[in-house]
A and B are shown apart, each in its own frame.
Chain A
């Protein structure tokens, strides 16, 4: 697989190229899709969500995922960018065995824009009815509903529980995957293995490169039961502006403290800075095991997922889960969800400032504060209780209303963004969301 450096012009050019290929393909596709009785090789599909979120929190933003630069709360009282998106997908069945899929999605991006991006562009070759191999850009599937994470019409919530789904917010990867279906008795298995990579940008200007991105899963269906076990592993390299300055600050402080007659504290600070500097520059591993189950016999709907992530560098190990239940009364489906993510934040006392002169103590406190902020950002812990209702209004359109009561753990900012000095973690955050989902 070619290694594409993130942010390089070659990488950007490739994204642009894919978009223009799609536009070229859409034009013949549009006419063909209108006549669905013909055995056309093209089919055009679309999906979208128009949503708005309101929260009473004033010192932080509620966001849909870690890539959104702002959301509802501190930045604006009513935020359309948390859930709204529009996607177009073109399937081209070239032969009975070869399928090309291109999906373009416009959503609230890390840089605040809504520029459409190529979410998928892949070729799938169906060797047998049981075995297929796909190459290109395709869906990343850490969780049960990851495969249609962006198509909210396909699930009951306004958005999958952010406690669990935020543990790996990646939606696609570039690489190769294989899918194999088999039966063991009455249980139908869908086995999948994938290998690839992806590059991500964070609103703060940080970049993340995921390499050796491996996923393996088995989705087992038995009657109304689905059980899915999955494993994801990747190698992460982050480049976050400000980190190098912070950690070299520790080393500079160390030299200054030693010069001022505090050699022990100076050495400790320098060692701390060097340690974190090397962590920040390192490529570290992230692995996650997941198990999810759903029971969907008709009117009842029960779902639960659990995941445990183990990570290197300053990204904390975490455990997340949720449990949801719903009942369908004809077109109305009320539902309840509880979810939690608990990250084991690394205990870091920082520079011990005992006995330092006031200016040095002040500098030490600033550096310790900076380090604590870094560790907090990489250790989100929160829980939430949600109640909502889905209304299948008319064919292909639903309306959803959801209330989330989020409680962020002390010493954490949870999954909130743009956290301000006045933010108090343990207060509950009330979030109201309204959305209309559609497919066409």
Chain B
């Protein structure tokens, strides 16, 4: 019992520590600079990432690209946009998956992969650390 308890407390302590970088990282929503999309509000971007709409406001198909679970960018992005923790997002997608209503967006392992994908595909939308932005991308906010 004793080691299990201290393990459990260790996990809690770790999760509090992990919450630290959330405040410091700056994550921005981006599309390819070739994309027809120039501006989107936070709630429009959130609707696309939560699977509530499959289209940009102009009616064209939108392909949201997530970063993998456990990445700082992902946690910051959903915390900033929806005020939701990783566990809350997991619960949200579990609700969607286990009702057959949909699947979470495709996830890539890091910001560099997301950037590559956005440049290849002008209908894609993603989020990356602000320091990774260059001329190939357009920052939405």
The residues of A with any CB-CB pair to B shorter than 8 Å are: 43, 45, 47, 87, 89, 91, 93, 99, 101, 103, 120, 122, 124, 129, 134, 138-139, 147-148, 150-151, 153-155, 181, 188, 221, 223, 297-299, 328, 330-331, 392-396, 398, 439
Q: Which residues of B line the A interface, CB within 8 A?
A: 8, 11-12, 15-16, 19, 43, 47, 52-55, 69-70, 82-88, 90-91, 94-95, 97-100, 103
Residues of A within 8 A of B16 (CB): 330
Q: Measured between alpha carbons, how far is A155 from B94 in the docked complex, in Å?
A: 10
Whether the pair B83, A47 counts as a contact (CB closer than 8 A) is: no
Closest-by-CB residue of B relative to A150 is B98
22 cross-chain CB contacts under 8 A: A43-B103, A45-B97, A91-B97, A91-B100, A91-B103, A93-B103, A99-B100, A148-B94, A148-B95, A153-B91, A154-B95, A181-B52, A188-B52, A223-B43, A298-B82, A299-B83, A328-B85, A392-B87, A393-B8, A395-B69, A395-B70, A395-B90
- With A129-B53, A330-B16, A331-B15 known as contacts, the answer to whether A139 contacts B94 (CB < 8 A) is no
Whether the pair B94, A147 counts as a contact (CB closer than 8 A) is: no
B15 touches A151 (CB 8 A): no
Give the contacting residue for B83; candidates A89, A298, A439; CB below 8 A. Answer: A298
A183 shortest CB reach to chain B, Å: 9
Residues of B within 8 Å of A392, CB to CB, are: 85, 87
Contact A439 B94 (CB under 8 A): yes
Given contacts A298-B83, A328-B85, contact A151 B98 (CB under 8 A): yes
Is B11 within 8 A of A394, CB to CB? yes
A331 to B54, CA, bound (A): 31
Contacts of B83 in A (CB 8 A): 297-299
Tell me the bound Cα distance from A93 to B101 in angstroms. Answer: 12
How distant is A180 from chain B, measured CB to nearest CB, in Å? 13
Distance (Å) between the CB of B42 and the closest chain A CB? Answer: 11
- Report yes or no: B100 in contact with A120, Cβ–Cβ below 8 A: yes
Are B8 and A89 in contact, CB atoms less than 8 angstroms apart?
A: no
Give A103's nearest chain B residue, CB to CB: B98
Q: With A153-B91, A392-B87, A439-B94 as given contacts, are A129 and B99 in contact (CB-CB < 8 Å)?
A: no
Residues in A whose Cβ lies below 8 Å from that of B99? 139, 147-148
Q: Which of A124, A150, A155, A221 contacts B100 (CB 8 A)?
A: A124
CB pair A393 B98 closer than 8 Å = no
Contacts of A439 in B (CB 8 A): 90, 94, 98
Contacts of A139 in B (CB 8 A): 99
Most buried by A among B8, B69, B85, B87: B87
Which residues on the A side are within 8 Å of B55 (C-beta)?
129
Residues of A within 8 A of B95 (CB): 147-148, 151, 154
Closest to B91 in A: A154
Q: Judging by beta carbons under 8 Å apart, are A47 and B98 in contact?
A: yes
A148–B98 touching, CB < 8 Å? yes
Known A154-B91, A395-B69; contact A122-B15, beta-carbon cutoff 8 A: no
Q: Which residues of A contact B11 (CB under 8 A)?
A: 393-394
**Given contacts A120-B100, A331-B12, A151 and B94 within 8 Å (CB-CB):** yes
In the assembly, what is the distance between CA of A425 and CA of B11, in Å? 43
Residues of B within 8 A of A122 (CB): 100
CA of A430 to CA of B129 in the docked complex: distance in angstroms? 51
Residues of A near B53 (CB, < 8 A) are: 129
Bound CA–CA A396/B15 (angstroms): 14
Looking across the interface, which residue of chain A has its beta carbon closest to that of B47? A188
Partner pick for A101 among B47, B54, B100, CB 8 A cutoff = B100
A328 to B86, CA, bound (A): 13
Contact status A45-B98, CB under 8 Å: yes
With both beta carbons as reference points, the residue of chain B lying nearest to A394 in the complex is identified as: B11
Are B98 and A89 in touch, CB under 8 angstroms?
Answer: yes
- The residues of B that contact A93 with a CB separation of less than 8 Å are 103
